[in-house]
Amino acid sequence: MTIGSSTEITVYSDLDLSFRAHPLTGDLVPKINAEAVRRAIRSIFDMNNYDIPFNPSVGPSIKDLLFEPVSPLVAAAISTRISFVFKKYEPRANLLSSSVLPTSDGEGYNVTIVFDIVAIGAVNNQYTFYVARVH
């Protein structure tokens, strides 16, 4: 563990995928603690099966379900996949809830995931994203 600039103990760290350089040192600025876990969760939900060589089961493959008509049944299937993948591939956080709601225009789903980060005591973190089929 190291002490961060705001005297916060760094438990989790990850590279910022934007590869933004620190203005003074020129070093890459890492994501730490809650931001690192949020970034990992975002990466997991952007994946599909077979995106990782030799490990085809990583990823919820939400995009596969987007070819079905928008309905509460498909929303429930997306929510089930989110719960499974979250619990299997993100041990640093506890899933509290996932909400998958069809949009009013019937084109996609608004997804909200609420979770706690275990080691740092960060409660009620939220990650929200929109998924839809591209026409």
27-70 pLDDT, tens digit each? 777 777 788 888 888 888 777 777 777 776 776 778 888 888 89
The ranges assigned to domains in the chain are: 2-132
Q: In whole angstroms, give the CA distance from residue 37 to residue 100.
A: 21
Q: In whole angstroms, give the CA distance from residue 93 to residue 115.
A: 6
Residue 13: how many other CB atoms lie within 10 Å = 13
Q: Which residues contact 2 (CB under 8 A, 6 or more apart)?
A: 9, 10
Rounded to two decimals, the pTM is: 0.74
3-state SS assignment for residue 36: helix
- Residue in the structure block whose two tokens are 């030799």: 54
Fold held by 2-132: Nuclear Transport Factor 2; Chain: A, (3.10.450)
pLDDT tens figures, 70-95: 999 999 999 998 898 888 888 888 99
